[in-house]
Amino acid sequence: MSDAVPVMTPEPTQDDRTMATLAHVLQLVGWFIAPLVIFLIKRESRFVSFHSLQALLLQLLYMVVGGVLMGGWFVIMFATVFRHSGPQNGPPPPVFFFFPLIWLGFMGLWVVMLVVAIVYGVKAGRGEWAEYPVLGAVARRILKIGPDGASLQS
C-alpha cells in the first residue's frame, strides 16, 4: 500500500474560464474553427484545452451527422426523381414527406448545439470541469487528464 498524495490542480484563472467559455459559445458561429484556434493558442492550460477539445469534438460529430443527413437527402431525392421520371409535372410525392424530416433533423441538431454551447459555456465560466456525455471521456483520454484536470501517468 502506498501513501500517494493526490495531485491538486490549481483553480482555473479568470482568463482560462473566459477562454473555455468562448470555446463553447463561439462554436455556434465559428463552427470547428473557433474551438480549434482556442485549443491551439491555450495549449498550456489543461482547463482550456479540455473544454476547447470537447467543443471541437462536438463540432466534428455535428459535421459527420450533418453529412449523413445531407447524403441521405440526396440519395432519397435522386432515387425518387429517377423512379418517378416521366411526363408528369412537379416533384414526386416522397420528396414532400422526406424534405420536412431532413429539415427537422437539421433544426434539431442546431437546437442541441445551441443548448449544449450555452449550458457548458456557463459551467466553464464557473470553473467547472464539466464534460459532455461520451465526448468528455474521449477528450480526457486524448489529453491524458483525469477528473478535475489531474494528470494521468501512463
Tens-level pLDDT at each residue, the chain (154 residues): 445 445 566 788 899 999 999 999 999 898 889 999 999 998 888 999 999 999 999 999 989 988 888 888 788 777 777 776 666 666 666 667 777 887 888 888 889 889 999 999 999 999 988 888 888 888 888 988 877 777 776 5
CA 54, chain centre distance (Å)? 6
Read off the pTM: 0.79
Neighbours of 127 (CB within 10 A): 15
What is the helix (H) or strand (E) element at residue 28, kind and residue range?
helix 27-30
Local structure of residue 145 (DSSP, 8 states): B
At residue 11, the pLDDT reads: 84
Q: Are 93 and 78 in contact (CB under 8 A)?
A: no
| Phi/psi of residue 151, nearest 5 degrees | -75, 135
d(CA 136, CA 44): 19
**Residue pair 56/39 in contact by the 8 Å Cβ criterion:** yes
